[in-house]
Chain A
Amino acid sequence: MKKLACLVVVAFAFAMVFSPSAFSARKTIIKIGINAPMTGDIPKVGEGSKYAAMLWLEDIEKAGGLEVGGKKYEVELVIEDNESKAESAVKANTKMITQDDVLAIIGPQSSKQAVPAGEVANKYKTVMISPWSTNPATTLDRPYVFRGCFLDPFQGPVIANFITDEFGFTKAAVLYDVASDYPKGLAEVFKAAWEKKHGAGSVVAYQSFTTKDTDFSSQLTQIVRSGAEVLFTPQYYNEVPLIVRQAKELGWKGPIVGSDSWGSAETVELCGEACYGLYFSSHYAAAGAKGATKAFIDRYTDNYGYIPDDVAALTWDALRLAQQAIQDAGKLTGKIEKDRAAVKDALTNIKNFSGITGNMTFTPEGDPIKCAVIVKINDSGEYEFYKSSCP
């Protein structure tokens, strides 16, 4: 009996080790992985990524598959939830690469997950495009990792310049989450850009908190008393309403400015009128869009009942980029390692890709050169185009 059990276990082990690679060699399916926060701190970001991906898949299916080198391939999406945690994002990438044999991965969205997950993708030599991660470390020295958006070293100065030009302020305060890659990186970049403009010490309050905090009263009390004229807070939509509200309750009168993490469709819904009239930098503005961008917004709104946020638009662009790269690769050999390398090479060579969030050409680092938009939350809670700033 025991021997039999042993045999069964060994047989299973063999099957586990050999079957995926043995089968995939013959498959005519292209698998694209989506690594997104479906649950956790920012589930709206995951939802937007998933919906955009589903629209993209719909297009592919309507065309009867993805044509590569004269042959039509069926496309399958593998959507993995990273729970908005770094370690889960790493696990999701490892699983999709080693077990699901995906050709490319879209995501993770926020830098907190994209920076560690990019390490895995690069190690296993699989193309990963993070649509939304703006922290430089995501793509740094990783030939297989790309992104669909601008970088924080670009975004930080854009915001600093905007505040200076718009309001003429010279004293700024910063409140950021010290335990998350994105806010921490951007806060540092902003501080450096601001102090370069207005001299050392012009960031009069530089306050931090830790992920999952809900009470910012001690930090905000110091910010209010520091004499700062503007508050910059590069936080996510679950924290922005609390920060804005508590700041006002503690006597903050000046403007509060945010970054592209504010762009989620949920920010205004949770924050309400308290957020009307505030500004943030973003990748695109939905109100008043034209052309392909408008077509995407209309289609998304019809299908899912709300206006797509920047994450959805960037995910769409990232998928289209992946599609372009796969088609440019010319021919799929069926050997997954070889195909992944071919897709990477094709992606590096893409020039002037016209996406709905702007035109993209990749630098050797895998970062696109793109414009940033300053968005104003207008009096009916829409994200309105205010200004654009190009490199």
Chain B
Amino acid sequence: MESLIELGQFILQNLINALQRGSFYAVISIGYSMVYGVLMLFNFAHGDIFMVATYIGFGIATLFLALFAGFLPGPLIFLATVVVTMFLAAWVGVFVEVAGYRPLRSAPRASAAITGLMIGIIFETGILILLGAKRLSFPPLMESVAYNVGGIYFTNVKVMIIIISLFLMIALHTFIQKTKWGMAMRAMSYDFLAVPLMGVSINIIAPLTFAVGAGLAAVAGILYGQAYPILDPYMGVIIGWKAFVAAILGGRGSMKGAALAGYLIGFIEIFVATIFPSTLRDLIAYSIILLILTFRPRGFFGMEHSTKLRL
């Protein structure tokens, strides 16, 4: 009986750990998925947009804390940081679309894919030159308080990360389903050749998609800074890869799928690392994903027609 309770605690604890990790993969992979939906290409710079957004968040958070820490309540500073960072990061997304992808819209798919990689490297080295190789420590926007409920440990930051991520995904879903802009984006992903003929300009919808994706990455960046407060210019690479895998696993272009797959990857990683030595973590995690893709090549919610317009 005793050991059963302990096992339950152990599983629940890891469940919470996995929810936090998965939240990051989910929110970031949605950015991949959205761009794929509209432009039928993967924006490989997305991991580095996330990195740049985290640095912007770092700057804004430091500034706001220095200005308002005395007289404004903490949650308000947090909210202001999120809003301003989202706004600025959205422009980074727009910049990537306008400067990187727009000139190559009629170029072969492979050229556009390479563009993303190059923009990513430019961002990484740009930050490296601008700020040096020094690690930065993201300032805590709220005091981390640890709770112990029945032998399961969690902090207010962890809970906040999970809730905000879920809230964001629901908000985005509503935006896509209920607004005119969302409808335009859905229409574009259905047929990006015919829809512009109906008066919906791809030159507005495409940057909008990038902006929304970058805005999401900005929130993820600030939350990431709260959970893992050490920033470096290459922090977006690995998390970007994993979010990309989540976007494929979820089904190309499907946001619901990307979110679900993001959480799934978080779970697989955490649980594999608890059962097996950590060296085997990625091997086992990605073997499982490969297996899933073998039987479901379009991912969880991939649309039939997207296989024709393959990358």
Q: Which residues from chain A sit less than 8 Å from chain B, CB to CB?
A: 38-41, 43-44, 46, 178-179, 207-210, 212-215, 217-219, 221-222, 224-225, 237-238, 241-242, 245, 248-251, 266, 269-270, 272
Contact = CB atoms under 8 A, between A and B. Distances in A.
Most buried by B among A178, A179, A215, A251: A215
Interface in B117-163: 128, 132-135, 137, 144, 146, 148, 153-155, 157-158
A217 B132 contact: no
Interface in B74-126: none
B134 to A, nearest CB: 6
A217 B270 contact: yes
Contacts of B232: 41, 238
A270 B278 contact: no
A115 to B, nearest CB: 19
Contacts of B269: 218
Contacts of A272: 137
Given A214-B230, A241-B229, A251-B146, A219 B278 contact: yes
Contacts of B13: 221, 250
Given A39-B133, A221-B13, A251-B146, A178 B6 contact: no
B228 A251 contact: no
Most buried by B among A41, A46, A245: A245
Interface stretch (B14-22, B41-49, B191-199, B257-265): B14-22
A238 B230 CA distance: 7
Which 5 A-B pairs give the minimum distances between C-beta atoms?
A: A43-B133, A217-B17, A251-B153, A39-B133, A218-B273
A270 B270 contact: no
Nearest to A252: B153
Contact of A215 (B21, B153, B282): B21
Contacts, number: 92
7 contacts: A43-B133, A44-B135, A178-B277, A209-B278, A222-B274, A238-B230, A238-B232
A38 B128 CA distance: 11
Given A218-B271, A248-B146, 6 more contacts: A46-B133, A209-B273, A210-B279, A217-B17, A221-B14, A251-B148
Interface string B234-273: 0100100000000000000000000000000000011101
Contacts of A44: 134-135
A225 B13 CA distance: 11
A212 B228 CA distance: 12
Interface of B: 6, 10, 13-14, 17, 20-21, 128, 132-135, 137, 144, 146, 148, 153-155, 157-158, 228-230, 232, 235, 238, 269-271, 273-274, 277-279, 281-282
A371 B173 CA distance: 62
Nearest to A251: B153
Contacts of A212: 238
Contacts of B135: 43-44, 237-238, 266, 270
A260 B230 CA distance: 20
Contacts of A208: 277-279
A249 B229 contact: no
Contact of B270 (A178, A218, A249, A250): A218
Contacts of B21: 215, 217
A215 B270 CA distance: 9
A241 B146 CA distance: 17
Nearest to B273: A218
Most buried by A among B21, B133, B158, B274: B133
B134 A43 contact: yes
Contacts of A41: 232
Nearest to A206: B277
B278 A249 contact: no
Contacts of A241: 137, 229-230
Most buried by B among A212, A237, A238: A212
B291 to A, nearest CB: 21
B10 A221 contact: yes
A220 to B, nearest CB: 9
B6 to A, nearest CB: 7
Contact of B273 (A214, A219, A245): A219
Most buried by A among B6, B144, B148: B144
A269 B10 CA distance: 33
A311 to B, nearest CB: 15
Contacts of B20: 215, 217
Contacts of B281: 210
A249 B228 contact: no
Nearest to B10: A225
A204 to B, nearest CB: 15
A249 B137 contact: no
Contacts of A249: 144, 146, 153-155, 157-158
Nearest to A239: B230
A207 B137 CA distance: 26
Nearest to A177: B278
B270 to A, nearest CB: 5
A215 B269 CA distance: 10
Contacts of B133: 38-40, 43, 46
A147 B275 CA distance: 39
A215 to B, nearest CB: 5
A178 B230 contact: no
Contact of A221 (B137, B144, B155, B274): B274
Most buried by B among A210, A214, A218, A242: A218
Given A218-B270, A248-B146, A270-B135, A39 B14 contact: no
Nearest to B235: A214
A266 B133 CA distance: 12
Contacts of A248: 146
A238 B228 CA distance: 11
A209 B276 CA distance: 11
Contact of B132 (A43, A225, A237): A43
A39 B157 CA distance: 31
Nearest to B13: A221
